[in-house]
Amino acid sequence: MNQRVIQKVLFVLVLTASLFFKVNAATILIYHHVSDKTPKSTSVSTEQFKEHLELINSLKLIVVPLTTITDAIKANTPVDNNWVAITFDDGYHSVYDNALPLLIQYKFPFTVFVNPKMVGPSKLYLDWDQLAELAKHQGIIANHTMAHENLVQDGLTDEQMIDNILLADKIITEKLNQSHKLLAYPYGEYDHKIKQDLKKLGYVGFAQHSGAVNETSDILALSRFPANGIYANPKTLKAKLNSLPFNIKSITPSDTKPESLNPLLQVSLLNKDFYQSQLACFISGSGKPQKPEWTSKLDFNIASNNEIPKGRVKYNCTAPSISHSGRFYWMSKLWINL
């Protein structure tokens, strides 16, 4: 077979793969402060935020209400390849002062997760009148617990957690006539018990680990890409906005509390559009990627070579797509080592 024939065959194979692996991938961004006077680790400047919105426009992505994405996932229907949602945690004043004028200018919807006990008047947090103004401009106001309680580490009982979430929802509904049953976990921390509480209440849960989402994503712990601090660079943000979710059949364990200090993660995929040899996993605190162990064509394991440190630890796994050149599959698993 001559070189030209081989090239044609390869082209047909890649084209066929591209048609077969239709991408269903939405991304959710998380911000906190939009200011150059707040802690850098949780902030973007107003200029950086504007660059992000312009990047979204240049990529021809469609900013949709967060509920558009969650409604699709709950219905087990495909998300749109071009969907992106913008979220803010904590309800800081800078969202009103600096982000809102730009969101109005670009006509982008957005979501703000608030803690009713911390709503102003305040120099730091928004008040109810300001939140009402956000709501007038396509703003969804959603639940972040009553006072930013850590649902994993603060020792709340199931009953106390449920009462907390329901009371926060009641206050938001009374003040703003909004009730979307969306909860962002404070500090991004959750465990299996908390997820089951959310499931009983019919809520959608949002975490802070990275990755795109689709109909196979965990509706009780949807991933969001941080876009502040060290993650504010538009070049790296572009890769995240173009990322793809792994089509996951199952992840074991589903809980975030590790049984050992070298926790084993087992992933089973529905299909794959990447070469096994190119899957790499990165573990918090380790600068070098770690190769997973493939146990079958669609199943792999990954465990930290070293004992994981205290606090929040993430296994991030990525692989370049075969059929969608320049785009990467991306998933993240959270561990909380208490």
Confidence of residue 110 (pLDDT cuts 50, 70, 90): very high
- Structure confidence by residue, pLDDT tens digits, 232-255: 999 999 999 999 999 999 999 999
How far is it, in rounded angstroms, from Cα 224 to Cα 28? Answer: 5
Can you point out the beta strands (E) in the chain? Answer: 27-31, 33-34, 43-44, 62-63, 83-89, 110-114, 139-143, 182-184, 204-206, 225-226, 248-252, 264-269, 280-283, 293-294, 299-303, 311-320, 328-337
Q: What is the pLDDT of residue 6?
A: 56
Strands 248-252 and 264-269 come out as: antiparallel
**Tokens standing for residue 238:** 């572009």
Lowest mean pLDDT among 8-22, 55-69, 71-85, 115-129: 8-22
How far apart are alpha carbons 182 and 200 in whole angstroms? 13
- State residue 90's pLDDT score: 97
Instruction: Grade residue 12 by pLDDT with cuts at 50, 70 and 90.
Output: very low
Residue type, 63: V
Per-residue confidence (pLDDT) for residue 19, from 0 to 100: 45
Give yes or no for a contact between 251 and 270, defined as CB atoms under 8 angstroms apart. Answer: no
Higher pLDDT, 12 or 105: 105
pLDDT digits (tens, 9 = 90+) for 134-183: 999 999 999 999 999 999 999 999 999 999 999 999 999 999 999 999 99
Mean pLDDT of the chain: 92
pLDDT value at position 15? Answer: 47
Question: Mean of the pLDDT values across residues 49-74?
Answer: 97
Largest Cα–Cα separation, the chain: 75
Q: Give the tens place of pLDDT for each residue, 203-234.
A: 999 999 999 999 989 999 999 999 999 999 99
pLDDT of residue 21: 60
Other beta carbons less than 10 A from residue 230's beta carbon: 9
Tell me how crowded residue 28 is: count the other CB atoms within 10 A of its CB: 21
Confidence of residue 4 (pLDDT cuts 50, 70, 90): low
Distance CA 285, CA 335 (A): 13
On whether the CB atoms of residues 120 and 126 are closer than 8 A, the answer is yes
The DSSP secondary-structure symbol of 98 reads I
Residue 277 has pLDDT above 80, yes or no: yes
Specify the pTM: 0.91
Question: Cβ-count burial of 308 within 10 angstroms (0-12 exposed, 13-18 middle, 19+ buried)?
Answer: buried
pLDDT of the residue at 72:
96
| pLDDT score recorded for residue 288 | 85
Q: Quick one: pLDDT band at residue 265, thresholds 50, 70, 90?
A: very high
